[in-house]
Amino acid sequence: MGESLADDSSEFLASGREWRALLLWGVGLFEAVNRHTSYLHDGRVRNFTEAIIWHDGEAKASRDRFLELSEQQRTELITF
């Protein structure tokens, strides 16, 4: 995930720079079920766009491609 998301808190064999991403199935109900929209492993972001922008490391190429999209394309992708 890159240095910006690392928390240097290791767990078993994973370092503080490695996290298991949650599945996105049902994420459209996240706010209704959890009564908040705090995303990422520590709740530091408020929406999908922020979550994508925070990613680096192995996700850097995907993040950069997302940032190259127009505002309308980003909205359509997140809505999907």
Q: What is the mean pLDDT of each run of 10 residues along the chain (80 residues)?
A: 67 67 74 85 87 88 96 92
- Residue 30 is predicted with a pLDDT of 83
Side chain identity, residue 33: V
Distance CA 45, CA 22 (A): 15
- Residue 66 is predicted with a pLDDT of 96
- Residue 26 is predicted with a pLDDT of 75
The total number of structural domains that make up the chain: 1
Domain region containing 45: 3-79
Side chain identity, residue 53: I
Side chain identity, residue 32: A
45: which strand partners?
A: 39
- Name the pTM for this structure: 0.67
Q: Which position has the token pair 């370092």?
A: 15
Q: How many CA atoms lie within 13 A of 34 on its CB side?
A: 12
- Residue 22 is predicted with a pLDDT of 65
